[in-house]
Structure 1
Amino acid sequence: MTNNDPGVARALAAAGPPPGMAIFQLPTGTYETPAALAFQGGSFRDRRQFAATAVLVQHPEGDVLIDAGFGAQAEEHIRMLPSFRRSPHHLGSTVSEQLDAAGYDRTRLSGVILTHSHWDHVSGLDSLDVPILVTDEELRYADHNRGDRVFRRVAAGHDVRGYSFDGPAHLGFPASHDLHGDGSVVIVPAPGHTTGSVVVLVTVRPDQRFAFIGDLAWQLEGVTHRVQRPLLMRILADSDSARIRQDLARVTALSPYMQIVPAHDARGYDGIPLLVPGRTTSRAS
């Protein structure tokens, strides 16, 4: 796949985002990890502040969040983790608090798309009363993941909606799920970090496109340098390192066309506005 790949051009042109779409970042805190544990070639002297950021995608047919960040009970959630997974962290405002502070109309929020079920992506569900959109495979993964029980805690009482990839191959990925049927929010499988991980491709306008890649890579160097996590972290954190290599190549090929956003790299969110009072759009009629 090259920068002038006609297949990519056709797929991008087919997206028809409606007027009234908008996108916002909702940072909820950070935790500290050395770059040496984040990607091959990183340094222990380079201390990275891993982002825990949700994204609000506004669409006339219903807004969605991508992941949920840290929640109101994040400290308790951290205590539920194995000790080796607890990192120095800073908690900010939750997604719920940011929505309220911006005067957001919560009746517009139709669900939360999870890139996967690890605690730092789902903690904020503890204060969001909306459906959870997650792959059937990830639900099975979460049910058997004994090292991270947070999803099972925060999902209790929610409307959990599993979905399948009922659409065709899309932008190099073997299948897809078009959330609104217009190409504006397309979910594709990327089951390497967890067995049900996904990438969410968002087209706000023809000149504003994003690939939210979850934990396919923890930092942008995974894409720009085409490197995976160090061996130890692959063993501890990933389900299928071969699939991660394959999907990193797919995402790298898309980088000329769209902004690549690893969930934990604050640089990936550059240019995505914060949600502040008066900035939310009105639902199109």
Structure 2
Amino acid sequence: MDRRGALVLIAGAIAAACGRTKRGDMTSSSTRAAQGTGKMPVIFIAHGAPPLLDDAAWQAELAAWSKAMPRPKSILMLSAHWEARPIAIGATSAVPLVYDFYGFPERYYATKYPSPGAPELAARVRELLRSNDVAHADEPARGLDHGSYVPLISMYPQADVPVLQVSLPGLDPKELFRFGRALAPLRDEGVLVAGSGFLTHNMRALGERTTPSWATEFDAWAAEIIAKKDVDALVDFHARAPAARLAHPREEHFAPMIAAAAAAMGEPGEVTFPITGFWGLAPAFTRRSVQIG
């Protein structure tokens, strides 16, 4: 199966399965904790392909999650679908959408999400990266890819929260962690730092009819080390996680988890999993999403 066919298959599988998978515990305790410390939480979203825009159950899960969190002043998105060196800072005035997928019905290329730009956030990100000696550049024509706008449409459907997407620096875990730590002060400034990817992502496993043991093991391991805020294990996941190479033949979908978590590691705050389970027709792909703080 070529990449185009695989994308179409996983999109349909995820959309069809969404309403039949387990939903995690979503209490108000995390909201109270974040409000009590004055910090915004950090989140990681298991995002899906564009057909999930048609799935009412998945949209409802995301909407409930966003309503349980403090309302952000702005959102910083870190998607699995944008890597650049040096780190690139995206559009800050009009924020276009990047239709970075192929082979879908035409209506998905007509999707709109006219979120306000976030020039003040971009200026603050530049300042933080400079002060931490992290190379960066502006890419003002680059908007939100599907890893960003697909979940945001459900979480903030009014498109009234300023959004900035910033690239990942690459896939080196230590570099990702350093990048994420540089962003940590944003939590005190009303900014929701959001990574978007998958905790298991192996396109060759699309044909699986049941959840493979390696996917279950990696998902459970990731949940445990994230809950413990185990920095060393997170950064060294290649060596420490069970079936790391099967869960992530290429690490781009785990990379946003490392960068986002780094913005919250070493600080107080409850870890919760607002959405859990595996996609029913793509059972090698975990739906686990994360909130820290």
Same fold (TM over 0.5): no
TM (normalized to structure 2)? 0.31
Greater percentage in strand:
1
Greater percentage in helix:
2
Q: Which has the higher contact order (CA 8 A, sep 6+)?
A: 2
TM (normalized to structure 1)? 0.32
